[in-house]
Amino acid sequence: MEFLSRTFRTACAFAFRKAAFALLYTAGWKRRVVQANRALTHLESGIESRRFYRQMLQNLTRHAADIIFLFRDYKKLPQDTAEFPFQGHATTYALAEGSATVLQKMRQGGIFLTAHYGNYEAIGPWLCRLGIPLKASYIPLKPAWFNRLVENRMRAVDGKSYAVSAKTPREFLRLLDEHKLFCLLSDQDSRIPSAEKGTFLGQIVNVNPLPDFLHRHRPDVPIYICWMEEQPGRKILHAEEILVAPDEKVMDTFNRWLEKRIEENPALWYGWTHRRFYSCKPTIY
């Protein structure tokens, strides 16, 4: 029965992916923003930008379908790192070389930075299944009932939600003191007065000051980065601890990591659909 249920969900995911791509591509969803970002950072022609937009949208709708119809697969993964690679329904779930040791350490809490890269939402339930005390910061969705639904159903594993609403730095420090793994998406344009300057893809940008704030006040707390690599029939979780040099900022280290991921596969970074450079270059949009 579970196999039939999974087969049905897979078929639904495929149909959704095709329909969603056709709708978004025809409507030109976020096309101007994507093209503006690509023109600024890669000096692409119109034809190149349109091809890139199509490829990125195909990836995005594939991952959206995965979240809507197949998300429960990640919530049933083994709890022991020794059980990986694990064979699921036509998919092998594996840990990248060296990641098991890092994941074991993440059970003691820390700062976890990630980006809108690949199937980033699937990392949350995977980490929770491994016994990692994840607390991921999200901006509350609207309307309120939808936010409750997402937090209590989608972003929940074994009946416990790992989502926390974005609040004050003092509360984030408390989570660190409680040995939680505090997670935040760190690749967006920060438009708050305390935003700091950084560089990203060769451009001056505004960056979120929170990671460096937390690092200054809790310098002994480890900092981690995770991402998920996808191969045909195989999903691989990467986890690494990053070390920030005394003369560097956390966000500079993070941006260099993200640039490397984008260089490997630029169409997997969905930050292209955000006005990432707006604070410093508003006229490009």
Provide the whole-model pTM: 0.94
Q: Give the model's confidence band at 29: pLDDT under 50 very low, under 70 low, under 90 confident, else very high.
A: very high
Q: Give the model's confidence band at 17: pLDDT under 50 very low, under 70 low, under 90 confident, else very high.
A: very high
CB–CB of 86/68 below 8 Å?
no
pLDDT mean over 247-259: 95
Name which residue leads in pLDDT, 140 or 98: 98
Name which residue leads in pLDDT, 141 or 96: 96
Q: Quote the percentage of the chain above a pLDDT of 90.
A: 85
Q: Does the pLDDT of residue 1 top 70, yes or no?
A: no
Q: Give the model's confidence band at 4: pLDDT under 50 very low, under 70 low, under 90 confident, else very high.
A: low
pLDDT mean over 91-96: 97
Q: Quote the percentage of the chain above a pLDDT of 70.
A: 98
Please tell me the least confidently modeled range out of 1-5, 12-16, 203-207, 276-280.
1-5
Q: Quick check: helix, strand or coil at residue 158? A: coil
Q: Does the pLDDT of residue 246 top 50, yes or no?
A: yes
pLDDT of residue 3: 54
pLDDT of residue 149: 81
Please tell me the least confidently modeled range out of 10-19, 37-46, 190-199, 256-265.
37-46
pLDDT mean over 167-171: 87
d(CA 162, CA 181): 10
Fill in the amino acid letter for 107: R
pLDDT of residue 113: 97
Per-domain residue ranges of the chain: 2-284
3-state SS string for 193-245: CCCEEEEECCEEEEECCHHHHHHHHCCCCCEEEEEEEEECCEEEEEEEEECCC
Q: Does the pLDDT of residue 46 top 80, yes or no?
A: no
Please tell me the least confidently modeled range out of 102-106, 140-144, 187-191, 231-235.
140-144
CA atoms within 13 A on the CB side of 138: 18
Mean model confidence pLDDT for the chain: 94
Q: How many beta carbons lie within 10 A of that of residue 246, not counting itself? A: 5
pLDDT of residue 139: 83
d(CA 46, CA 41): 14
CB–CB of 181/150 below 8 Å?
no
Q: In terms of Cα–Cα distance, which of 83, 177, 82 is closest to 135?
A: 177
Residue that the structure tokens 């995770």 belong to:
226
Q: Give the model's confidence band at 7: pLDDT under 50 very low, under 70 low, under 90 confident, else very high.
A: confident
d(CA 18, CA 238): 29
pLDDT of residue 165: 82
Please tell me the least confidently modeled range out of 46-55, 175-184, 254-263.
46-55
- Provide the sign of the torsion angle of the four alpha carbons 207, 209, 210, 215, taken in this order: positive
